[in-house]
């Protein structure tokens, strides 16, 4: 796969993770009726959105590290919550894993050492 494919994978999974986070914490299965303060967990994802969409290598690098926090939350909530919340956490885990690999391989393939030399 090319760097462009990995960037597309990271972009799609990031947008999906943002939408899932909003829906999950506001409507589908919030911790409290009417919405949860956990909706603010998507703010770091929003900060990274334009950098990922534009293919900024540095954003992909730090997002690959930050995504591990979301992966941990997804695994914990998938195994400790019940019902719809556990199912949403499982979906979030898959999306976060996809985001991680998309960011990691995009960063690897766009490293300056892998770029063709200018003549």
Looking at the domain assignment, is residue 95 inside a domain? yes
Question: Given the structure tokens 């994802």, which residue do they identify?
Answer: 45
Looking at the domain assignment, is residue 53 inside a domain? yes
Rounded to an integer, the average pLDDT of 46-57 is 96
Residue range 22-45, pLDDT digits in tens: 999 888 988 777 777 888 999 999
Looking at the domain assignment, is residue 48 inside a domain? yes
Looking at the domain assignment, is residue 117 inside a domain? no
CB 23 within 8 A of CB 3: no
The reported pTM is 0.90
Find the domain containing 72 and state its range: 3-112
Domain count, the chain: 1
Looking at the domain assignment, is residue 49 inside a domain? yes
Question: Given the structure tokens 């976060």, which residue do they identify?
Answer: 96
Rounded to an integer, the average pLDDT of 105-119 is 80
Fill in the DSSP letter of residue 116.
P
Angle formed at CA 11 by CA 21 and CA 62, multiple of 5 degrees: 85
């Amino acid at each position: 796969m090319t760097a462009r494919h990995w960037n597309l994978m990271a972009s799609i999974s990031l947008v999906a993770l943002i939408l899932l986070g909003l829906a999950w914490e506001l409507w589908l299965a919030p911790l409290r009726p009417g919405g949860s303060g956990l909706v603010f967990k998507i703010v770091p994802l929003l900060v990274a959105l334009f950098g990922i969409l534009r293919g900024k290598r540095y954003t992909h690098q730090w997002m690959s590290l930050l995504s591990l926090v979301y992966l941990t939350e997804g695994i914990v909530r998938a195994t400790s919550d019940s019902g719809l919340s556990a199912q949403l956490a499982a979906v979030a885990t898959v999306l976060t894993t996809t985001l991680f690999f998309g960011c990691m391989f995009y960063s690897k393939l766009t490293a300056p050492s892998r770029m063709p030399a200018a003549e």
